[in-house]
Amino acid sequence: LQSAQNVQRRGYDQSLWLDPIEMKYIEELSGMNFFILQNGELHTPQLNGSFLAGITRDSIISLARHKGITVVERDIPIQEVLTGIQSGAVSEIFACGTAAIVSPVSVIADADGTNYAVNKVDDLAATLRQSLLAIQEQREADPFSWTAAVAEHYSPA
């Protein structure tokens, strides 16, 4: 709660959570899973038991792979992301969750107040969000068997 208040006071929407032991690896945003597009590959923190796996996270990983995008699940050092933003190696950042679906991240602010602005905002994120919604709304084929037809007048026995 204090973290959320500090973030809002500084003018940002979310806290970026680091691992509790070394305080250097990204785990998640407040209640959302974290992704970066780095050198054309989609990277997300590997599951370690300290944050939720997320159904939407799993869906985004499946969709990206289906579209031919390499997905890497690994420990992601915050310093690597900040350096990657500056060099252009990290071209996009987004988060996902059940309520937000997919939300682009435009800026990461360091504890000292330095802002790191991402080059692309909402390019791959928008594509993945649109594909996920299209499958959920049955406007696009469902290659993953995520949806099921339900009888209009279903009555349990």
Taking the C-alpha atoms of residue 110 and residue 148, their distance in angstroms, rounded to an integer, is 44
By CB neighbour count within 10 A (0-12 exposed, 13-18 middle, 19+ buried), where does 94 fall?
A: buried
pLDDT of 1 > 70? The answer is no
pTM for this one? 0.89
pLDDT of residue 58: 98
Per-residue pLDDT tens over the stretch 49-70: 999 899 999 999 999 999 999 9
Taking the C-alpha atoms of residue 69 and residue 56, their distance in angstroms, rounded to an integer, is 17
Per-domain residue ranges of the chain: 2-136
Side chain identity, residue 64: A
Per-residue pLDDT tens over the stretch 91-119: 999 999 999 899 999 999 988 889 999 98
Per DSSP, 145 falls in state -
Residues 6+ apart with CB under 8 A from 46: 73, 74, 75
Taking the C-alpha atoms of residue 121 and residue 36, their distance in angstroms, rounded to an integer, is 11
Give the H or E element holding residue 132.
helix 124-136
pLDDT of 122 > 80? The answer is no
Block residue for tokens 């289906």:
66
14 and 95 Cβ atoms separated by less than 8 Å = yes
pLDDT of residue 121: 79
The residue among 98 and 156 whose pLDDT is bigger is 98
pLDDT of 19 > 70? The answer is yes
Q: What is the mean pLDDT of the chain?
A: 92
Pick among 3.40.1280.10, 1.10.3210.10, 3.40.50.1470, 3.20.10.10: CATH of 2-136 = 3.20.10.10
Give the H or E element holding residue 38.
strand 33-38
Closest to 88 measured CA to CA, from 130, 48, 127, 117:
117
pLDDT of 88 > 80? The answer is yes
pLDDT of residue 62: 98
